[in-house]
Amino acid sequence: MKIAVGFDHAGFPLKQTVLESVRAAGHEPIDLGTNSAESVDFPDYAEKVGRAIQNGEAERGIIVCGSGIGACIAANKMKGVYASICHDTYSAAQGVMHDDMNVLCLGGRVIGPELAKALIPAFLNAEYQGNEAGGERLARRVGKIHKLENEEKV
């Protein structure tokens, strides 16, 4: 899989760990920056990752900002982007398996390299189970999420 990865300045210290972890899991990272610890705005990198998914350039994404929260909020504003902050392996895998999550958000000031090395393969190795036999319950719930996303705003 191609994995879009983006970092703000607070996520930059984890950049090499994330890139190496994506490669070690057998996937190809698409590095969308940033390239230094100089201050930048996290929504810009969340947008880059989200656009890569929307345009079919990447199947999944990883965004790292200071807490992971801002990047998660920004990414979820984009149609077809289903992002969650996960700082445990259960959530990183379960978000994909049950909720069809396609973007992992991490807090560069919250987790260290060793936890990142565990979270990334948990996220990348998981597969959505709503399309499998017995996955009707999951598909129904994800369908409701898509309905919310597509409803006209009043």
Where in the sequence numbering do the catalytic residues fall? 65, 98
Edge-to-edge strands, sheet with 28-31: 28-31, 2-7, 60-65, 103-107, 83-85
Report the C-alpha dihedral over residues 75, 78, 84, 85, rounded to 10 degrees: 10
- Give the span between the Cα atoms of 42 and 56, in whole angstroms: 22
| Residue 34: cis peptide before it, omega within 30 degrees of 0 | yes
Residues in CB range of 86: below 8 A, 6 or more apart: 92, 95, 104, 105, 106, 119, 123
CA atoms of 19 and 31, how far apart (whole Å): 8
Residue 102, token pair as written in the block: 């396609």
Other Cβ atoms within 10 Å of 151 Cβ, number: 8
